[in-house]
Structure 1
Amino acid sequence: MPKLTFLTGAVLVVVGIGGYLVSLANETDHWTALIPSLVGLLLLVSGAIALKNLMVGVHIALVLALIGALGMLMPLASLGDLFAGEAERPAAVVSALISLIVLVVYLILGVRSFLEARRWKKANA
């Protein structure tokens, strides 16, 4: 899980920086485009914690991923406008969608990992 946490964090940092660069290119300069990068940086820190204490670090990462995924829902209210070509900030919607997908996949894999660890622990007890 620590490797997956690092990978997820790195992907989110890239998504956030990419979204910010697009907002700069469109001369809108929205700092909120960096929110996926902030979540990604926090995941990278929790991944480092997981290297020292696996259970604590991964639990922190999963809570952060859940909060981040919930935070990505608000920009997705404009998803219909994006498909209609009428979105005010299409890059923000795309960035939020990518971030949400990455975070939900990470959450699913993390929960699955905990369930497998619990089954393994019961089988070997």
Structure 2
Amino acid sequence: MVRFTAAVGIVLIVLGVGAYALSGAASVTALIPAFVGLPMLGCAALARSAAGRKPGLLVALGIAVLGALGSAMNVLKIGDAIAGTAERPAAVWVSTVMFVLLVGYVVVAGRDQLKSRSTSAG
């Protein structure tokens, strides 16, 4: 799970920096995926130690939930982006990619947390 957390963090950082560069550095908001990915990468680094594994992964899970909720607003505009009528189509696409990554992370991490609880409880 630590490697998966690091991978998602790195992908989000690349997504944010790429969006920022491709937008001509017009707005810092293009870096939002990187602002979510960087603390997730930090959580993965914390989770490499035995003592930091559980808190690091739980904080990463919380960050992923908040990031998914924050990006959901633009995801609702995906129909407009597909139709070509969105006001900021690049932001909609980047938010959608971020949302899909984070929801996938939440599902995998949530299952991992439930699995670890059931094996430690029994």
After superposition, the CA RMSD in angstroms is 1.2
1:37 aligns with 2:56: no
1:102-117 correspondence to structure 2 within 5 Å? 102-117=101-116
- Hey, what's the Cα distance between the residues in 2 that align with 1:105 and 1:79? 18
Partner of residue 6, structure 1: 6
Q: Normalising by the residue count of structure 2, what TM-score does the alignment of the two structures yield?
A: 0.92
1:78 & 1:119 partners in 2: Cα distance? Answer: 39
The answer to which structure, 1 or 2, has the higher relative contact order (CA under 8 A, 6+ apart) is 1
- Whole-Å separation in 1 of the counterparts to 2:121 and 2:75: 41
Consecutive unaligned residues of structure 2, counting only runs of 5 or more, are none
TM-score, L = length of structure 1: 0.90
Hey, what's the Cα distance between the residues in 2 that align with 1:90 and 1:75? 9
User: Quick check: 1:22–1:91 contact (8 Å CA) kept in 2?
Assistant: no
Aligned to 1:60: 59
Percent identity over the alignment is 39
Following superposition, the deviation at residue 42 of structure 1 comes to: 0.8
